[in-house]
Structure 1
Amino acid sequence: MQCFAHTLETLTQAVMSQEIFISYRRKDTGGYAGRLFDYLKKEYGAENVLFDIEVDATVEELRSWVKRVIPRSAVVIILIGENWLENSFKRRRLDEKDDIVCLEIELAIKNEVPLIPLLVDGANFPNISELPQSIQKIALYKGYEINNSFWKAKFQVLIHAISSIIKNHTPIINKGVKSWNSWRKENESIHPNLEGANLEKKNLEYIDLSFSILRRANLRGANLRGAILHHADFTNAILEDVNLESSEGNETDFIHADLTRANFKNALFNKADFSHANMNEANLTGTFLEQCQVFGVSIWDAKLDNAQQRNLYLGDPKTGNTFAVDSIETAVVIHLLLSGGGIKNIVDTITSKSILILGRFTPERKVILDALRDALRKHNYIPLLFDFQKPQLRDITEIISLLAHMSRFIIADLTDATMIMHELSFIIPNLPSIPIVSICEANCIITSMFEASLRYPWVLKPVLYKDEKEIIEKVYEIVIAPAEEIIAARKNSLIERDKNLQ
């Protein structure tokens, strides 16, 4: 039973299959039960050890709770002391009708919950003839000793017994990497169960977690540098800020794992499954990824310098189609296309709402353009503010041209036109379906090159404004409405053309 800082109701709701139930008599082994609870909760977490002290509940409420939780427990530890059978009046407690300890053992036997008899301070194991028939099966279980003189050694023996029953190996990994790796070598056939384990900020450098089950485990900020992760299962695990530098794994599962800011530098993963993993801001510098499943992965702001990527697979669960790409960024784009209703829907959404804003981004000018961007959002547009460094091996004009093709219309700030005229000279003649709305501070000088562009019907005369406040207040009147008029006129013109062709 659990330390009753909580109500019986909340404890019942929290019961999980990994819980350890402590059965004891207060006047017989109450002190040992309390100490055992303190040690077990450090190993397995307080929420996984059920133990009562002074219960503020009626006998019937307590019995009702015991009937609910024991059938769902993983193991029941029975503390047997000198007076476990009899009280101070030499009356057999187990024969009493309402004996709670007898009820606990009966429930465990009936529901096939494993028992661990714990003999306290040299107490003898009861003879089978001394036990009521309903609990005589307790004699089939191995008894373990516990005493204060050799507490730590005896407690470790108990931990191994518990772990062998509930198949949870958190206590072993808590002893450190050296002990864990040594245990793994001696027990190569075991697939360690660390499901739900709290390993936050643990130093697990060079640990062997092959075939380990770490579903829903918390490894936030843990150090797994050089770890061996072959066939490990991190499904739904928390791995924020984890250090996986130089780790390696074959067929490792990171499905739906949170790998935000994870450090994969120089790691090697083959046939790993990163489906729907969150790898935003992760460092994959020098990482080797081959034949990995990456459908639905998120990699915003991830670092991929010198990463080697080969045959990354996108197995679409909706269609069963499989695509192989050599770039995780490409995989993200393809996933968006597959999951967003098709290329047409995505392109239609972008081209119907995106507004490309071009201009010189000095601190003074960027204030104006940022304010303009915010104003466009209020009218349900998606502003694309071109404000990033030129990518290596790509021409900046090519990128702006691509964005222009995806835009509903373009806003060009001519206050310092030298920065954008080169790009506009390519865009304007080739995109008659994209209106160009030019803006300029009242005292700016319009270049002759731009004036020559006004011969194109889709290029509007420059809009002069006094200050930021004026252009923001009049953004619909002087920017949006004129552009939309051109778009509407072109649409009507195409409709008329189609009618005439029929």
Structure 2
Amino acid sequence: MADEDQLGILKQGVEVWNEWRIRNHTTYVDLYDADLSGSDLSGSDLSGSDLGNANLSEANLRGANLSRAILRGVSLSRADLSGANLSEAILRRANLSRADLSEANLLRANLNDANLSEANLNDANLSNANLSDANLSGADLSDADLSSTSLNSADLSEANLSRANLSKASLSKADLSGASLSKADLSGAHLYGVTIDETCQMDAKWRLVWQIINGTSDKSTLSGADLSRADLGGANLSDAFLNKANLTKANLSNADLSGADLRNADLSGADLRNADLSNADLRNTDLSNADLRSANLWNTLLNTANLRDVTMDETSQIDAKWRLVWHLVNGTANKSILSGADLSGADLSGADLSGADLSGADLSGADLSGADLRRTILVSSNFTRANLSECRIYGISAWNVKLQGAIQTNLDISDSDSALTVDNLEVAQFIYMLIHNEKIRDIIQTIGNKAVLILGRFADEQRKTTLDALREKLRQERLLPIIFDFEKATNVDFIETVKILAGMCLFIIADVTAPKSTPMELQATVPDYMVPFVPIIQKGEQPFSMFQSLQGKYHWVMDVLAYETTEQLIEYLPSKIIKPAIEKHNELIALKNQELRYSDISAE
């Protein structure tokens, strides 16, 4: 029974009661079985009070503090609890039918087996609350926070859950027939055994998740499906067609994905612990940050799959080849034992393979874009159809390398900040040796009919865009662009490097757009080499002051070509630059090959 003295103080009004609570904050409040129906207790401090079996029906408890209160079996039907604090309160078997709990705080409250039928819980905080076996039929839970809440076996029929946050909520065996869940967030919500009928309004994504977890979906129609953040733990997806599906941060622990088609799917951040992926096709799948502990990946196709930051341990069942790839992309491999390794089809983009012995290794079809291959041994390595674009290849040893069909654009042969890039692995090694070995320069003519040297400063984005377009168009014309960016060059001997490169090229394109562009380099290079120099400049700009002198003295310096846009430059590149430059090149060759002219001093 209630403490009569305390009950008497409470009936004197909220102000008197709250003052008494302040003075007696350690006193246990016993209001068990009290009849407070219809009372105005708005703003009252009832925190920690024992109100078990009390009658508070139709009471005004707006903004009241009932945190940690014991409210077992209490009657709060039609009570006004809007904005009230009921966090961690015990409300087991309480009657809250038609109560107003809008914007109330019910964080971690225990509402097991409570009656909340037709209650107003709009915008209420029910995060981490226990609502298992509760009656919420017809309740308004729109915009409510039900994240990580237990709603197992709850009756939510005809309830309004539109825009509610149900992320990570457990709804096992709950009844959602006739409920509205439009725009509700069900990320990570457990939907096994949930009752849903045709009148239930649910976004298509979550209805599909419900169908999958309850075994009623058509597994042949899941290509491209959005299943991100879905709880599919334990789902049977064997032989499912999930290619291009979005499964980011999905829970697939204990799921059966054996034989599934997951090509090009996004599984980044997915929980795949103890999942069966045996014989599945995960080619080109993004598995970054996924958890594969205790997963079965025997005979799984992982060609070009992204294994960066994947969590694996000794319990992960995976073929030795792919475990090695996983070690490589995550920087934990022993790079000294890669000779003869099978790395075909592996996604090694951006991997640090510097100093590795890859002699005899099979890297056919592998993606090595942006990888660090500096000082690697590539004797008899197989790079057929591999992607080597943007690789760093300073100091490589490349002999008898198979490169059929390989992408080799923008290979960086510098040891630090890139100033020199080429488009062929073997040519890159040759150019490096050419610069550093005087004898090898004698064979410069082996590539003299294809190399085009591009000089300039390309620090800003506009210049870089022009450079990239120019380089791509030269490739299309079956020429070999060699880029020397003076903005990145730091070595004091870089002018000597330019001279060496100039002597081996078919012709040179010099971008003189910026006022500081290439004056010293051209003055040091033009006089020494009879190689066509094609200066280009954007309209509205002027070349450096001494350029006119260079053009007047050396006939292999061609007319300055002014262009308005990058697109215009590329359009006229074949006719206005390449063709005249090659003609000038042939003219210069003919001049060099002319026989020495003799005159008889005694002739009349």
Q: TM-score, normalised by structure 1?
A: 0.41
* Structure possessing the higher radius of gyration over alpha carbons: 2
Higher-strand-fraction structure: 1
Q: TM-score, normalised by structure 2?
A: 0.36
Larger RCO (CA within 8 A; separation ≥ 6): 1
Higher-helix-fraction structure: 1
